[in-house]
Amino acid sequence: MNKQIIAATLIIGGSGVIRAWQTKKPLTPVLLGSYVFMLVLSLADLFGGQVSKVAGAIALVAVVAVILNTWLPILGTIQKAVGK
């Protein structure tokens, strides 16, 4: 299986678990969602060729979206605290 898909699933699932834990929401939908995400991308990866590359690209785009969603509010808070 593509290493990008595994890394993306771990990052997205971990971020979802942390966010659900902080907001006191159930973890089951987050875990099921990450399993479905990995299942869909791994099935696409099985076809090989261009479909495998597309699956890796989708995984990387999803990771970038999660990282931006997580870090942009934190960076905005830091900038407000510093006064820029």
Mean pLDDT by 10 residues, the chain (84 residues): 84 87 88 90 90 90 88 79 75
- Evaluate if pTM is beyond 0.75: no
Tallying the residues shown for the chain, one arrives at: 84
The pLDDT, as a whole number, for residue 80 is 82
The pLDDT, as a whole number, for residue 50 is 92
List the domain boundaries for the chain: 3-82
Q: What is the pLDDT of residues 5-26, one digit of tens each?
A: 888 888 888 888 888 888 888 9
Distance in angstroms (rounded) separating the CA atoms of residues 82 and 25: 32
Distance in angstroms (rounded) separating the CA atoms of residues 80 and 30: 31
The pLDDT, as a whole number, for residue 84 is 59
